[in-house]
Amino acid sequence: APTAPAPTIAAPTEAPVAGPAPDTDAPTMAPTPNCNLSERERQQLIAGVLGDVSPREDLEDFTTPQGMAFEFIVNDDEAQLCPDDENLIQRYVAAVLYYSTEGDGWSECFQGDTECGQGQSYYGGKEAFLSPGSECDWAGLACNGVEELQSIELYDNNLRGTIPSELGALLVVDTIELQENGITGTMPTDVCDNVTPLGLITSLTTDCGGAEPLVECDCCTRCYRP
């Protein structure tokens, strides 16, 4: 009879330890106290919001710029945004632009560039892309008085790859200047739809000039020769 309680006590003490273990990780992460959500709930809700900007299959494929940007937003970004944060979409789109144009190969202000904005840099006073601070402070980006992304000026910085259609989700942007780079492909329709008079973009420039343009763009306000 005295030995019977021993296994009875041992079993319950193991269950609470094993059960809460995954949950004890979540509260130690920033998103849980900030968003009042479990990490899984936060990721699912963010995916739902961003699913209106990018195809869901792209978000789930971490080899795509969209998947890499989603991974950055939900896991790597120190800002640890919540699903209802007003700057979630514009921060995500900025990250998509970075990965779409092979950001790690930029001449300056790539992720982790500790010399970004120093010396005679055009990006004086700005921060490297994907840094923990506001995306409004990232090199080449500028926001209006209510922290809405308003201009993108990343010319002559060794951007490659293509221009993502997600830029079309930035409805307040009035300037996109990406000339003197190595970007190729076609200007997405979603971006062209935001050029005046249809939208607010008054300056859209790329390397779309010359006999062999790098970018096909029928809606650009100015074409540069590559």
**Averaged pLDDT for residues 22-43:** 65
Q: Exposed, middle or buried: residue 18 (CB in 10 Å: 0-12, 13-18, 19+)?
A: exposed
Mean pLDDT of 18-22: 38
CB of 35 within 8 A of CB of 83?
Answer: yes
Predicted pLDDT at 60? 96
**pTM value?**
0.85
Residue 95 is predicted with a pLDDT of 98
Mean pLDDT of 106-132: 94
Smallest Cα–Cα separation from 138: which of 79, 181, 200?
79
pLDDT of residue 30: 42
Among 4-13, 30-39, 162-171, the range of highest mean pLDDT: 162-171
Residue from 147, 148, 146, 128 nearest 138 by CA: 128
Tell me which of 7 and 208 has the higher pLDDT.
208
Kindly state the average pLDDT of the residues 104-129: 94
Tens digits of residue pLDDT in 135-175 = 999 999 999 999 999 999 999 999 999 999 999 999 999 99
Note the pLDDT of residue 120: 81
Give the pLDDT band (50/70/90) at residue 205.
very high
Q: How far apart are the first and last CA of the chain?
A: 89
Backbone angles phi, psi at 220, to 5 degrees: -65, 145
- Measured between alpha carbons, how far is 52 from 161 in angstroms, rounded to an integer? 23
Residue scoring higher pLDDT (7 or 37): 37
Q: Which residue has the higher pLDDT, 27 or 114?
A: 114
